[in-house]
Structure 1
């Protein structure tokens, strides 16, 4: 359930990793994204949860709420558009394209015959479809058997052509690559594999926006622990690398969280190299239901993640309900199945003294969680939480309005 990573380092951010992900690239990505109408102009808020902190016995718990990033409803709005922009710039190197004009669709005629494709569990595909629609190129999204019809419809609403397969996520990744090869399309995936690293790197660089905002919104040393969702490793690598480069040897403790049945990063920590999951992969945490670690992301994570942890689906659902309830004076938060994983892990660790001790968690710990998504499948959210997402959002807004008075 919890494994320490003996290879984690506490020193200045290595030059070898800075050649993959770096603060400068993250800041450039953030500047480009500021020109996209699908991204909200203001940073996503960091909400304090003193009620949860008191209940768990830590000094503080804070949640960065990515549900408010964009109408797309998740942090994925930061990765796919940057990867698509950088792909277009590489394809037309002699045209001196302006990134601002590109994301605003002013090269639409030039991109008419460009088609991009990706496999997805939902959020990445929706973000890519939205970015392609804004820029003016065609988009094909491959969905596996466990992606809900609700998520399929949300992607199709942005003009993407949907291809369904009977297999799992990793098989959908393979199918997307086959279609791209056969049709001359370009894969824009958030996971790397042999010979395919530039675009996943660009996706991760976009996620650095989250870390850049955290730095601006808080003071140095605010957090002792940062919980990060697993998946293929892209979000964790994008955020952890940025914070590590800024804080150096005083960086926070990073804990990566995965579903028990989709434990590819946990298994990578055991093996010492990018590995595959040992379980069924299917999970209510759809965004984290990934069977194979991204080797490029693992290069970063192996060097800085202090602990890898597994949780159950029921843990995530309980955390969703806790965040939605906003008990003991806390602000209600709309957090989806994957978004609540960090809180689920924290609750589990603090429920067992030996695990909390192993992770260095105690009454002095200041914890940051990232709620990576809102109700990206509203029907699923309501069925799990027992209340509509709009109702929780209204309670959140009422709570914040009262605090502002």
Structure 2
């Protein structure tokens, strides 16, 4: 399915609130917080000229978030950043002065953090980030997971000291349960989706993601003309597209939002012209994108700067995992999890369709940016779908 954005707000400026959340000062702050963390190395930006040639475009770059902060996903930038921010704010309130990120590990701040509990729902990656952030500052974390989250992903979160709560149902039900229990017990919810009356903390999570854009633009000789962004509730797509629009203005790339056909809440929202919750379908292999209600903040941004919305099928996602693991020519091998390559799957589908190419202006001069949003966060599942273990993939393309 493919849909150009016909919303009345399309191409209108971001709201003042969203422009502030995703603006230059806030992005610089996110980078400053990142600098205070261990394992903070910039993630690589890969050029894939062979694949670009096959797709009939001028250039293709993939920002690989598969090793971000040792968590295996771009979400390492969001939940942990929000937790750190909230702890410093609470410390400032109690101490009666501004508290800088450089004081994060001070006795005074640690004492404040020790009395705080952070909760969230997750498909896997966001919960790992919140748990890591809580562990970093010495706070408690309670992570809610639904029945579809694999035991491997649950164990990966628990390794950061989180208390795990498994519930029946899907992601959206786990979001509601986390919010309900947190409200009863006085915990702070750090969600990557938003709802009426709850926007600021998801905005902080999105703020963390702007680091991806800042790093990519520093490495690109020319800014991209197109960006294909995978979406679950839409926070990642909105953050990346929104910051690109703020930095590049009229020269911003066309932003294409890509979702699994089995969980296309933003596509249906764009079609309806307003936020809608969709009916649950069969589980998708793109488990990190299996969401049935959009984030209100994300939709507010994407209604303005999302230029098109499209879906990809199960086999498209698996094909991309295999294509990146076994590249052509001198393209690098990239380990991409089930959800990580959905943006690329969208590009491949669009590039192969005459009408979509024309609608998006994809041609031999196009410069496309993709974000591989996760590595093999479930190594067993990755090996099953690709036929190689993650370390075999990267080893095969190393020079002799």
The CA deviation at 1:251 is: 0.6
Q: Which residue of 2 aligns with 1:321?
A: 322
Partners in 2 of 1:105 and 1:287 — Cα distance?
A: 37
TM-score by length of structure 2 reads 0.95
Aligned length: 396
Counterparts of 1:233-382 in structure 2, within 5 Å, are 233-280=234-281, 282-382=283-383
Gaps of 5+ in 1: none
Q: Secondary structure at the match of 1:237?
A: helix
The CA deviation at 1:104 is: 7.9
Partners in 1 of 2:305 and 2:178 — Cα distance?
A: 31
Counterparts of 1:11-30 in structure 2, within 5 Å, are 15=16, 17-30=18-31
TM-score by length of structure 1 reads 0.93
Q: Secondary structure at the match of 1:274?
A: coil
Counterparts of 1:122-133 in structure 2, within 5 Å, are 122-133=124-135
| C-alpha distance after superposition, 1:154-191 (max 9, x if no partner) | 00011101000110000000110111012111111111
Gaps of 5+ in 2: none
Partners in 2 of 1:246 and 1:232 — Cα distance?
A: 23
Go from structure 1 to structure 2 and tell me whether the alpha carbon gap of 1:104 and 1:324 turns closer, same or farther (over 3 Å shift).
farther
Partners in 2 of 1:105 and 1:261 — Cα distance?
A: 48
Counterparts of 1:3-402 in structure 2, within 5 Å, are 3-7=3-7, 9-10=10-11, 15=16, 17-37=18-38, 39-41=39-41, 43-92=42-91, 93-95=93-95, 96-102=98-104, 107-220=109-222, 222-280=223-281, 282-396=283-397, 398-399=398-399
Go from structure 1 to structure 2 and tell me whether the alpha carbon gap of 1:248 and 1:165 turns closer, same or farther (over 3 Å shift).
same
Q: Secondary structure at the match of 1:61?
A: strand
Contact 2:88 2:109 in 1 (8 A): no
Partners in 1 of 2:82 and 2:107 — Cα distance?
A: 16
Contact 1:56 1:347 in 2 (8 A): yes
Contact 2:357 2:363 in 1 (8 A): yes
Partners in 1 of 2:381 and 2:75 — Cα distance?
A: 19
| C-alpha distance after superposition, 1:284-304 (max 9, x if no partner) | 111111111000111111100
| C-alpha distance after superposition, 1:324-370 (max 9, x if no partner) | 11222210001111111011111111222112212221222111110
Partners in 2 of 1:104 and 1:391 — Cα distance?
A: 42
Q: Secondary structure at the match of 2:262?
A: coil
| C-alpha distance after superposition, 1:179-233 (max 9, x if no partner) | 101211111111111111110000000100011112211234x311101111111
Partners in 2 of 1:106 and 1:54 — Cα distance?
A: 56
The CA deviation at 1:13 is: 5.8
Partners in 2 of 1:395 and 1:238 — Cα distance?
A: 34
RMSD (CA atoms): 1.8
Go from structure 1 to structure 2 and tell me whether the alpha carbon gap of 1:337 and 1:106 turns closer, same or farther (over 3 Å shift).
farther
Q: Secondary structure at the match of 1:67?
A: coil
Partners in 2 of 1:105 and 1:289 — Cα distance?
A: 40
The CA deviation at 1:56 is: 1.4
Q: Secondary structure at the match of 1:119?
A: strand
Contact 2:231 2:259 in 1 (8 A): yes
Contact 2:87 2:109 in 1 (8 A): no
Contact 2:12 2:304 in 1 (8 A): no
